[in-house]
Amino acid sequence: MSKTDQSTEEKIKDAAKKIFLEKGFGSTTTRDIAECADTNIALVNYYFRSKERLFQEVFKESFGETFLPVARILNDDLPLEAKIYKFVDHMTELLKRDPLLPMFVLSEMRGEHSKVCDMMTAIHQQEVNRFQQQLEEEAAKGNIRKTDFSQVEISLMSMVIFPFISMNMLKMKKNLTTEEFYQLMDERKKAIPEMILTYLRHK
Amino acid sequence: MSKTDQSTEEKIKDAAKKIFLEKGFGSTTTRDIAECADTNIALVNYYFRSKERLFQEVFKESFGETFLPVARILNDDLPLEAKIYKFVDHMTELLKRDPLLPMFVLSEMRGEHSKVCDMMTAIHQQEVNRFQQQLEEEAAKGNIRKTDFSQVEISLMSMVIFPFISMNMLKMKKNLTTEEFYQLMDERKKAIPEMILTYLRHK
DNA sequence: GTCTATACGGCGATAGAC
DNA sequence: GTCTATCGCCGTATAGAC
């Protein structure tokens, strides 16, 4: 289906996603969204009842259907090294397509009692952590060092996601174009697993 | 000077800092700030002329006078290992005092043409990067591996800062109290330099 | 389903009394 | 310096014509 014969509802949701990701919930107005979707405010409320509900739909789709599936690679049934490379690669590709996603998700979680926290607790309750378990097993077999694997996982996530959160800062500091920034991120696909694996293997 | 006999101007700035850090510029209202400072909207505009100017003052103070000095530890004249430990330690202590700082700074930089970008370019122009230079020197001497030190610096910053940006997510995922979260961050003061240095030294 | 018109409240900012 | 009152604008949401 081409961009032009999208249904009005889809056009609105796409516009909302674009603007919410750019500016966050608080700084986004229904007027912005309506204009960006080439319609009017009335239709936004007709299809989604309120800005709040529209937001929740966008958030659920962005986080639950886009980000989480990639994060779950860490729970896959794969050898350690392959898993780390696959995770970094897939997450980087996801974030290159949607570089504003992590900032969006995390900034909407500011404040302990934000709109999205309930959604989060619901999600996290049904999640397991196969990755740390796998690291424990490898350590028991003597393949990698014994250490706090909780810290390792945090570091892994940090190294992959943070550069996209600080994208503008980085681009400014190093005078990068968007293209050059993405190239730098591509290079991290090798650099990150290398650092993690070197650390783990050097007992 | 005790909290109660602060000047009105100081009370307003403190209140503004608190609320801007919590909710960001877009979601903060002058009414919030006035109420939190135990005054009224008129006085906020009397002392700072506009919400915009008040924000800029808070931002400059938070970023320029708090965050930057610690970041500049990487430019200090110190041996590599000591420098990395000192940087991670000082930055972690700063972020434990002001855990919302990084989210605040980075979320206000969303969008290439945000309010704070000009401020940033002005700052970055007069910054040098002694850290990467130092890594090159150590590599030339054969003390550490040759690699892309730009990536190493990004990883270092990521590992220190990102956990605070995702604080709420982490606390939720691992069911941590604030106290336990800070303890986890304290443990990173050893874990992060250990990973970086192991990687650098394992040629 | 789509639009115009409008209600209603909250926003930032200021004028003017004290 | 401080307050009350108010202006004008923009936000979300809805009613009602087509």
**Which has the minimum average pLDDT: A4-8, A51-55, B91-95, B137-141?**
A4-8
User: What is the C-alpha separation between B192 and B156, in angstroms, rounded?
Assistant: 8
pLDDT at B71 over 70: yes
Residue B196 has what pLDDT?
Answer: 98
Of the CA atoms within 13 Å of residue A39, those in its CB half-sphere come to 22
When pLDDT is averaged across residues A72-83 and rounded to a whole number, the result is: 98
CATH architecture entry for B51-201: Orthogonal Bundle (1.10)
Residue B2 has what pLDDT?
Answer: 46
Query: Model confidence at A4, in pLDDT bands (50, 70, 90)?
Result: low
Residue with token string 């990755």? A131
CATH architecture entry for B1-49: Orthogonal Bundle (1.10)
Q: Write the pLDDT tens digit of every residue in B46-65.
A: 999 999 999 999 999 999 99
User: Which nucleotide shows the minimum CA-to-C1' distance to residue B33?
Assistant: C12
Strand D lies under 7 A from the Cβ of residue A41: yes
Q: Write the pLDDT tens digit of every residue in A166-192.
A: 999 999 999 999 999 999 999 999 999
Residue with token string 């892994």? A156
Q: Alpha-carbon Rg of chain A, whole angstroms? A: 20
pLDDT at A151 over 50: yes
Partner-chain residue, chosen from B120, B169, B198, that has the shortest CB–CB distance to A199: B198
* B117 has a chain A CB within 8 A of its CB: yes
The separation between CA B180 and the C-alpha centre of its own chain, rounded to angstroms, equals: 21
Question: Mean pLDDT in chain A?
Answer: 95
* A113 has a chain B CB within 8 A of its CB: no
- Residue closest to B67 by CA, chosen among B29, B105, B116: B105
Query: Model confidence at A203, in pLDDT bands (50, 70, 90)?
Result: confident
pLDDT at A1 over 60: no
pLDDT at A126 over 90: no
Dihedral sign for Cα A66, A72, A76, A80, please: positive
* B113 has a chain A CB within 8 A of its CB: no
Strand D lies under 7 A from the Cβ of residue A39: no
**Which of B114, B123, B164, B166 is best to mutate for the A interface (most A CBs within 10 A)?**
B166
Tokens of B155: 């990883």
Query: Model confidence at B143, in pLDDT bands (50, 70, 90)?
Result: very high
Binary contact (B195, A192; C-beta < 8 A): no
Instruction: Measure, in angstroms, how far nucleotide D13 C1' is from residue A103 CA.
Output: 29
Instruction: Measure, in angstroms, how far nucleotide D8 C1' is from residue B154 CA.
Output: 48
Residue B8 has what pLDDT?
Answer: 97
pLDDT at B125 over 90: no
Binary contact (B157, A166; C-beta < 8 A): yes
Residue B1 has what pLDDT?
Answer: 45
Closest alpha carbon to C1' of C11, residue: B29
SS3 of B140-187: the string is HCCCCCCCCHHHHHHHHHHHHHHHHHCHHHHHHHHCCCHHHHHHHHHH
Residue B5 has what pLDDT?
Answer: 73
Tokens of A19: 């603007």
Domain range summary for chain B, segments of one domain joined by +: 1-49, 51-201
- The Cα of A198 is separated from the nearest Cα of chain B by a number of Å equal to 6
Question: Mean pLDDT in chain B?
Answer: 95
pLDDT at B200 over 90: yes
pLDDT at A3 over 60: no
A28: CB partners within 8 A, 6+ apart: A16, A19, A20, A22, A51
How many residue pairs bridge chain A and chain B with CB atoms within 8 Å of each other?
147
Query: Model confidence at B115, in pLDDT bands (50, 70, 90)?
Result: confident
Residue A124 has what pLDDT?
Answer: 87
Closest residue in B to A195 (Cα) is B199
Could you tell me what percent of chain B has a pLDDT over 90?
A: 88
B57: CB partners within 8 A, 6+ apart: B13, B48
Q: CA end-to-end span of chain A, whole Å?
A: 54
Stated pTM of the model: 0.97
